[in-house]
């Protein structure tokens, strides 16, 4: 009787192990959300978080520039002249370009 109980316990244990192995293979390789998809999504998420941080920094810079420019009429004129090359009626505007024919940005005073 003890021997029969041992074999049934051993068979049950093997059944659970086999079931677990089949489940693990299914989850890791055969499912729609397998390990490759999960790792790919994780890498995309990291890239998007980096991009989000960069964009948040740019948003802060733009808000700071907007507050500086629109809070002071002299700064507004300077900004319009630099960004949009606006001029007064009797003025000449000279644009310095680089070798790619792109306008050279002036360095900001800090």
Q: How much is the pLDDT for 106?
A: 60
1 pLDDT higher than 80: no
What is the pLDDT confidence band of residue 87, given thresholds at 50, 70 and 90?
confident
Give the tokens for residue 19: 């079931």
84 pLDDT higher than 60: yes
d(CA 36, CA 86): 54
110 pLDDT higher than 50: no
90 close to 97: Cβ distance less than 8 angstroms: no
Give the tokens for residue 68: 């500086």
d(CA 56, CA 63): 11
Q: What is the pLDDT of residues 29-80, one digit of tens each?
A: 888 888 889 999 999 999 999 999 999 999 999 999 889 888 888 888 888 8
Element (H, E) at 94: none
Q: What is the pLDDT of residues 3-41, one digit of tens each?
A: 566 667 778 788 899 999 999 988 888 888 888 899 999
Report residue 51 CA to chain centroid gap. 3
Q: How much is the pLDDT for 89?
A: 86
């Amino acid at each position: 009787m003890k021997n029969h109980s041992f074999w049934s316990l051993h068979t049950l244990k093997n059944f659970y192990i086999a079931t677990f192995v089949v489940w693990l293979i299914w989850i890791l390789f055969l499912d729609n959300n397998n390990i490759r998809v999960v790792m790919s999504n994780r890498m995309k998420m990291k890239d998007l978080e980096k991009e989000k941080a960069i964009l948040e920094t740019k948003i802060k810079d733009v808000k700071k520039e907007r507050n500086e420019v629109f809070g002071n009429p002299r700064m507004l004129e300077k900004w319009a002249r630099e960004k949009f090359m606006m001029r007064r009626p009797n003025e000449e505007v000279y644009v310095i370009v680089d070798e790619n024919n792109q306008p050279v940005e002036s360095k900001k005073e800090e």
